[in-house]
């Protein structure tokens, strides 16, 4: 990963309390896993930003290296990698995601 790409990702994470890297957009997710993440965050009614990795191959590959996580989507809360679709679903079902999101938004 280039230093410029790392800086770009760092800046995105600093600017957004909840940031997801997905295939597609918030309005038109392009895979089921990305759609799961968008639907969960929409259900919680929290503001979040989405980066479409399909429109930027450098980001698509770079974020996998950045997080050391091989798949998309990737969810970040307050600059920290939380996980992908399965982890988000599990946290949501346990009732833990809302608390984590509230803490991130309050910081």
Q: Where are the domains of the chain?
A: 3-106
Mean pLDDT of the chain: 95
SS3 readout for the chain: CCHHHHHHHHHHHHHCCEEEEECECCCCECCHHHHHHHHHHHHHCCCCEEEEHHHCHHHHHHHHHHHCCCCCCEEEECCEEEECHHHHHHHHHHCHHHHHHHHHHHC
pLDDT digits 0-9 by tens, 44-72 = 999 999 999 999 999 999 999 999 999 99
Residue range 3-106 forms a domain whose CATH class is: alpha beta
Give the model confidence (pLDDT) of 66-89 as tens digits.
999 999 999 999 999 999 999 999
């Amino acid at each position: 990963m280039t230093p410029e790409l790392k800086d770009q990702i760092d800046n995105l994470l600093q600017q957004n309390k909840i940031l997801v890297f997905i295939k597609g957009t918030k309005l038109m997710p392009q895979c089921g896993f990305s759609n799961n993440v968008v639907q969960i965050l929409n259900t919680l009614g929290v503001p979040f930003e989405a980066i479409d990795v399909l429109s930027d191959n450098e980001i698509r590959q770079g974020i996998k290296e950045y997080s050391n996580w091989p798949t998309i989507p990737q969810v970040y809360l307050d600059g920290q990698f939380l996980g992908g679709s399965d982890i988000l679903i599990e946290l949501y079902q346990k009732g833990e995601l809302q608390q984590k999101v509230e803490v991130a938004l309050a910081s």
